[in-house]
Structure 1
């Protein structure tokens, strides 16, 4: 999982918690943090490929740390100010979301040429293993998120959210619990839509990689990695917009119901993310140049 990128891609603020990752420094050193799909889970690279990829990764991480992280710190400042001034509104969240999406797109564009080069060098056995990994991923998610009844899915979604919120806010009060339950119910069969879209993307990716020697392969991969939304069906596009709106509404209402202690805990957690970034050696080195 691309931990920090997922953090800023999610609906921000309390949705930092939805990504359930607070060890930013550790996450930033993980191989997959620079790739918008979890490379290590789907490809069994040869020693030569790993060596090549690790060298490219170092270059990408250096670029990311020196050119992108300062912007993330500014973004955290704006996030913190929203909480401190009690300005957690739908409009403000939309702005923060667009900023995060732009940052993710910029990183995806930067690493896409390396992804294309790596994928073009795969052999048939590696491609077959990647496709089997995709199929395994789909079976696992269907069993975990679709096999339970819809009522159970809604209940489990509420429980997951409460657990994440407690990490960022502390114990949630009865009003917040009820709001989370309402949010989860409103999403209905969102699990089905999400998994279907994920499978659709993986299918498109597999088809592109099967034709990795074709002239249009680079453009197809760029679309899959940078312009993923262009491949969404109209139904999922609308469902995703509705899901984002529901998430923003949830965040606004939860903050309206928050206690001073909860807001203080949230601010402390944001400070922790900032400290993790500031502690990265690459960022320190860039500031000294």
Structure 2
């Protein structure tokens, strides 16, 4: 998990640290295990990167996080295990777009359940924040936005496409092993066709930051405050512009088509590599449940 601000403004990144299913995309099994077993400490550290908590807030949050991690272990890990098992059992030669859409939707459902479960704790924490803490939090939001804008404003089109290609190939090698020339060509075409969204995300960040400012300014209206915070955490898509929504949908369709094209060329060795990678994560999730 990442900071309270990232939970509100970039929930997918915040949960990338929390969820084992999201960790599949970025970490080794050993690293994921370490992160998961120290989840309460990691969350507290991330939150305090954006707002300094007092002793009482830390104590209450630590207790809530222990309850949350127990819920996650008993309720969510079995769901991840079931999804991983379906991936392990899948015949890559028979995977179609419907299967990819189903897997993506299952992942989104995991995220939504997690957000719904953590919302009361975030609401309680935010309501206990002093004016000084709110000012600190909002200042950090502003700085985060400025850093994001500066980073992407200095990135050329060519640099962006190169970064897309490198990221795609890195993920493919993770799951398939060594790539063929044909697969690298498909990855290149994929990276060349992705619609850039950094400007759309920048506008979304500004609008969300303004909504958060308004939310804090109206803390005396508990109905509005709770409804707005709940919406920001559980349904951030409501704040997406039509342009951003359209780009995300087209990029997802492009990803599905590209993945299917790459899978259709997978060798026997690559299919075995995929199974072994999934097996590692399946065994990790089973081990975490038995701890």
Task: Report the counterpart of residue 284 of structure 1 in structure 2.
Answer: 290
Q: Deviations over 1:173-213 (max 9, x none)?
A: 22222212211221132233234334433432343234333
Check the 8 A contact 1:2/1:34 in 2, yes or no. no
**Structure 1: distance between partners of 2:82 and 2:42:** 20
Moved more, 130-139 or 195-204: 195-204
Classify 1:275/1:7 alpha carbon distance in 2 versus 1 (closer, same or farther; 3 Å).
closer
**Structure 1: distance between partners of 2:53 and 2:155:** 35
1:66 aligns with 2:79: no
Classify 1:63/1:199 alpha carbon distance in 2 versus 1 (closer, same or farther; 3 Å).
same
1:30 aligns with 2:43: no
Check the 8 A contact 1:150/1:189 in 2, yes or no. no
2:106 to 99, 109, 120: 99
Moved more, 46-55 or 197-206: 197-206
**Structure 1: distance between partners of 2:122 and 2:241:** 25
- TM-score normalised by the chain length of structure 2: 0.84
Displacement of 1:121: 0.8
SS of 1:44 mapped into structure 2: coil
Task: Report the counterpart of residue 124 of structure 1 in structure 2.
Answer: 131
Moved more, 24-33 or 234-243: 24-33
Task: Report the counterpart of residue 274 of structure 1 in structure 2.
Answer: 282
Displacement of 1:40: 4.5
Displacement of 1:139: 2.6
Classify 1:129/1:242 alpha carbon distance in 2 versus 1 (closer, same or farther; 3 Å).
same
Count of residue pairs brought into register by the alignment: 274
Classify 1:21/1:92 alpha carbon distance in 2 versus 1 (closer, same or farther; 3 Å).
same
2:190 to 175, 183, 189: 183
Displacement of 1:49: 1.1
SS of 1:45 mapped into structure 2: coil
Moved more, 48-57 or 135-144: 135-144
Moved more, 50-59 or 141-150: 141-150
Structure 1 vs Structure 2 CA RMSD: 2.5
Task: Report the counterpart of residue 13 of structure 1 in structure 2.
Answer: none
Classify 1:6/1:235 alpha carbon distance in 2 versus 1 (closer, same or farther; 3 Å).
farther
1:219 to 227, 235, 238: 227
Question: Structure 2 regions of 5+ residues with no counterpart?
Answer: 1-13
**Structure 1: distance between partners of 2:186 and 2:101:** 20
Classify 1:262/1:148 alpha carbon distance in 2 versus 1 (closer, same or farther; 3 Å).
same
